[in-house]
Structure 1
Amino acid sequence: AQTIGFDIIGGKNKVSFPFESYNNLIVVPVILNHRMPLRFVLDTGVRTSILTDRTFSDILNISYARKIPLVGADGDREIVAYVANGISLKLPGVVGQGQALLVLEEDYLQLKNYLGTEVHGILGYELFNRFIVEIDYESRILTLHEPYSYKPKRKRTVIHLEVQDTKPYIHTNFQLQDGTTINAKLMLDTGASHSLLLDMDSHPELKLPEKVVRANLGRGLGGDINGYIGRIRSIEFGKYSFDNVITSWPDRGSFANILRRTGRQGTLGGGLLSRFTVVIDYFNGNLYYRKNRNFNNQFEFDMSGIEIRATGQKLNHFIISQLRKDSPATKVDLQLGDEIVAINGHLTKELTLGEVNSFFRSREGRKIRLELLRDDQKIVRKIRLERAI
């Protein structure tokens, strides 16, 4: 009989393998049904594994048990998905048999365009519920431990972890810019790029900082999630405290149903978690952490006003998809649809999306020279970076 669930091949106590990191997200290699090599994001916020495009499952002639409608993150748009059962998902040294897989009708998430690399799915609760998961963000090594054999290292400090309806939560304090201190329940979200997301509907004392900018905060099943970006004064993470943390504030109502159901005030994402090696232990309700070399990095936000998407077969064509009002970008006649072909003399086709974006977060006052393609004509624009928040 086929075993259901994930197991380490060869009966070992643990297995380690490298992952790739894009915009603070963890991307791991996955082989679907022993035949198709794909790449999945590791996401504590997902209950059932997701294949983001039906094309791949159709190639393998995977049959679907049923078709289901899903409601997008905006609570409005209806998404079509299929449930496939008895699926095999193999990671380096680990195989999961008899898995359920949610297959999206089409690529609603467009992860590859926002991360600048091919991503085909999302892996979540089934892995965290089976292993104690160690994420070394600095060395980019993922280690899966058999729960019965894991012994935490002595130097590791611990935060209590509460697992509720397949999701992990911590309780911590943060302080708003006006000095208001709030004790918050936050979901630990390895599938989010941001450092911190807070929802204004979730607590009577939560309010936007005075200095904010409108922004696209990310993408969910319902499309773009819009809101504001600002800073809070500080947040505690175990024995540490971080100041002036960049914080996302989604538009009111974006997550209202989720918040009512979970009682959470927001999510803690990869922008903060990536400053540590973390061990996520659902079995004993523990989050172990040890700071790494990213710990003291400044929390910075885009200073150009430009948002770009990666397109093309190699995802090395960078198209301006949004321009922030009253930003350096809008002072020099940049337009939606312009393609950035060079930045400060560097050809963008030789850069990743993350490397291009790092120019725009680098240093206030820095001059950026952009070579652009517009209607098959090359043009040059120069901007000076300004810190918006």
Structure 2
Amino acid sequence: MSFHNFSQNRFVVRNKTQSDKVKFKLINNLIIVPVEINGVGLSFLLDTGVTKPILFNFLNVSDSLKIKHTDTIYLRGLGEGEQIMAHRSINNVFKIGDAVKLNQDLYAIYDANLNLAPKLGVPVHGIIGFDLLKDLVVEVNYSKQFLRLTNPEEYRYKTCRKCEEFNLEFYNNKPYMNAVVDLHEKSIPVKLLIDSGGSDALWLFEDEERGVDSGDYFFYDFLGHGLSGSVYGKRSKIEALHLNRFVLQKPNVAYPDSLFIAHAKQHRERAGSISGNVLMRFDVVFDYGNAKIVLKKNGNFNDDFRYNKSGIELAHDGVRLVRESSSRVNLDKDKEGNNNLDGKQIYLEPTFKLVLKPVYAIVELRENSPAAIAGVQINDIVLSVNGKPAHHFTLQKIMEMFYEDAGKHIRLKVERNGVDLAFNFVLKNPLE
């Protein structure tokens, strides 16, 4: 009976080893993990920057999940938009691998604009963070793409000379760590939110007192979507990011406009965020119970920090019917209807079928970028990339092409208002 009560209010791994391994997808430096809610299998983003789980209920999954709404609240996040209405639901059963919680709150949001799936190209039904991480020791193996969830009382640390351990501080149930940035030939201590739900490397808030500013070496860009709308700001690089012994050279940095981050700056000591493009260079242990995080370099550590050199941001924009052709072998037949094998006359009969394929639309376009200068526009539908149909690629694969080396030629065929158009441009480093 005591175990039953114990498991009601926290995640517990229910197997003999009290530990479980859960595979995830790494999309654009973000962790997409399978989550079962009330018996329904879904996909959630693991986001250390959120407290309660959020369900994007524009998908109308309330009925299948059998969730009950108890009250209405308003949430605010990054962006300059209004607060977002959400419905709180209680007593939901959450299951991630063998980790189960029988009494989990969640917040269902009905705003159709809050939809991560088009930006990532894979289904994402919600976000989960603090409630999972506070109950279990969570190991994130970015290189092999799996989580290991362990009941805290059973977790044992191994001796690791190649690891660095950091103390965590919490503000509104969100984790912060201390680091040092080399900027304008100065080493500046900073307190950073650990934000696994962000795909960038590093965000810094410009602050004259701290000596944090972009200087003259930057370009203006779309930075991402928050709960309260889009976020824009400057992008640049800093000389180095120091995480104790680990030093990342010339990492990307974004300086969001203050207009979009008023909510984030409520914690006055916060100087910015450390996000997916840094975290994915390590294998990470989150141990909220002991208020610490452990980092170990993995094979991604020395990867270059790259920028989008096209200026294009794509999103999945539904599906369309595409006619695919194939050939069927037909043997010539004699007058009696028998196969004429002696003459060896073989015919290939073309056959066609209609199949649904993904559609990719341009949703953001950086001013004065190579694509913008070439004439590409927002809302253009991408039909082909470098001569290959766009639907032959995943969204992530096309975006990876835009991050390749400067000087690479890109040929795009797009559809605009029912007219097919062709554009050519060369990738260019936006900081040159």
Asked if residue 15 in structure 1 is aligned to residue 20 in structure 2, the reply is yes
Instruction: For residues 200-219 of structure 1, give each alpha carbon's deviation from its aligned partner in whole angstroms, at most 9, with x where no partner exists.
Output: 14854111132212211111
Letter matched to residue 239 of structure 1: R
Alignment of 1:16-55 (within 5 A): 16-34=21-39, 36-53=40-57, 55=60
Residue 99 of structure 1 pairs with residue 104 of structure 2: yes
Number of aligned residues = 387
Which blocks of at least 5 consecutive residues in structure 1 are unaligned?
none
Alignment partner of 1:154 out of 156, 159, 165 = 159
CA distance in 1, matches of 2:235, 2:264: 21
1:75 CA displacement: 5.4
Shift of 1:264: 0.6
Alignment of 1:1-389 (within 5 A): 3-34=8-39, 36-53=40-57, 55-74=60-79, 76-155=81-160, 156-176=163-183, 178-201=184-207, 203-313=209-319, 316-389=358-431
1:187-227 Cα deviation digits (max 9, x unpaired): 11111111101111485411113221221111111111111
Q: 1:164 to 1:37 in 2, by over 3 A?
A: same
CA distance in 1, matches of 2:179, 2:357: 39
TM norm structure 2: 0.85
Residue 294 (structure 1) shift:
0.9
Contact conserved, 2:191 with 2:269, CA < 8 A, in 1? yes
Structure 1 residue 335 displacement after superposition: 1.5
- Of all paired residues, the percent bearing the same amino acid is 30
Change (3 A) 1:23 1:203: farther
Q: Give the aligned residue type for 2:42.
A: L
After superposition, the C-alpha distances for 1:28-74 in whole angstroms (9 at most, x for unaligned) are 1111112x211000111111011011511244342211011223423
> 2-side partners of 1:355 and 1:160: how far apart?
37
Seen in structure 2, the aligned counterparts of structure 1 residues 59 and 341 have a Cα distance that, compared at 3 Å, is same
66-75 or 336-345, which deviates more: 66-75
One-letter identity of the residue aligned with 2:265: L
| Cα distance per residue 1:141-175 (max 9 Å; x no partner) | 10012212222222233222223331111111101
Q: Distance in 2 between matches of 1:186 and 1:144?
A: 25
Please give the alpha-carbon distance, in whole angstroms, between the structure 2 residues aligned to 1:175 and 1:30: 39
Q: Report the Cα distance in structure 1 between the residues aligned to 2:298 and 2:77, rounded to whole angstroms.
A: 36
Give distance in 2, aligned partners of 1:381 and 1:341.
11
Alignment RMSD (CA, Å): 1.8
Question: Structure 1 stretch 157-166 or stretch 90-99: which is displaced more?
Answer: 157-166
Instruction: Answer whether contact 2:223 2:232 (CA < 8 A) is retained.
Output: yes
Q: Which moved more, 1:63-72 or 1:266-275?
A: 63-72
Taking a change above 3 Å as real, the CA distance of residues 292 and 72 of structure 1, as seen in their structure-2 partners, is closer
Query: For the structure 1 residues 320 and 257, does the alpha-carbon distance in structure 2 shift closer, same or farther, using more than 3 Å as the test?
Result: closer
Q: Is the 8 A contact 1:202 1:265 kept in 2?
A: no
Amino acid at match of 2:177: I
When normalised by structure 1's length, the TM-score is: 0.95
Aligned AA for 1:165?
N
Distance (whole Å) between structure 2 residues aligned to residue 107 and residue 184 of structure 1: 36
Which residue identity lines up with residue 10 of structure 1 in the other structure? Answer: N
**SS of aligned partner of 2:265:** helix
Asked if the contact 2:79–2:225 (Cα under 8 Å) also holds between the matched residues in 1, the reply is no
Aligned equivalents of 1:196, 1:86: Cα separation in 2: 37
Cα contact 1:84–1:101 (8 A) shared by 2: yes
8 Å CA contact 1:66, 1:82 repeated in 2: yes
Higher mean alpha-carbon deviation, 24-33 vs 198-207, is at 198-207
The AA in structure 2 aligned to 1:174 is V
The 1-side partners of 2:66 and 2:147 are apart by: 31
> What is the Cα deviation at residue 315 of structure 1?
8.2
**Is the contact made by 1:31 and 1:38 (CA closer than 8 Å) also made in structure 2?**
yes
CA contact (8 A) 2:35 2:94 kept: yes
Q: Whole-Å Cα distance in 1 between the matches of residues 238 and 361 of structure 2?
A: 31
Structure 2 CA distance for aligned equivalents of residues 66 and 11 of structure 1 = 38
Check the 8 A contact 1:48/1:100 in 2, yes or no. Answer: yes
Please state whether the residue corresponding to 1:170 is helix, strand or coil. strand
Matches of 2:375 and 2:298 in 1, distance apart?
41
Structure 1 letter corresponding to 2:277:
G
Instruction: Confirm or deny: 8 A CA contact 1:201 1:252 kept in the other structure.
Output: no
CA displacement at 1:346 relative to structure 2? 2.8
Which moved further from structure 2: 339-348 or 84-93? 339-348
Instruction: Name the CA distance, whole Å, in 2 between partners of 1:306 and 1:360.
Output: 8
- The answer (yes or no) to whether the contact 2:409–2:427 under 8 Å persists in 1 is yes
State the distance in 2 between where 1:123 and 1:267 align: 18
The alignment partner of 1:316 has SS state of strand
2:80, 2:230 within 8 Å by CA — same for their partners in 1? no
Distance in 2 between the 1:26 and 1:203 partners? 35
Secondary structure at 1:265 match in 2: strand
Q: Indicate how the Cα distance of structure 1 residues 153 and 185 shifts in structure 2: closer, same or farther if over 3 A, else same.
A: same
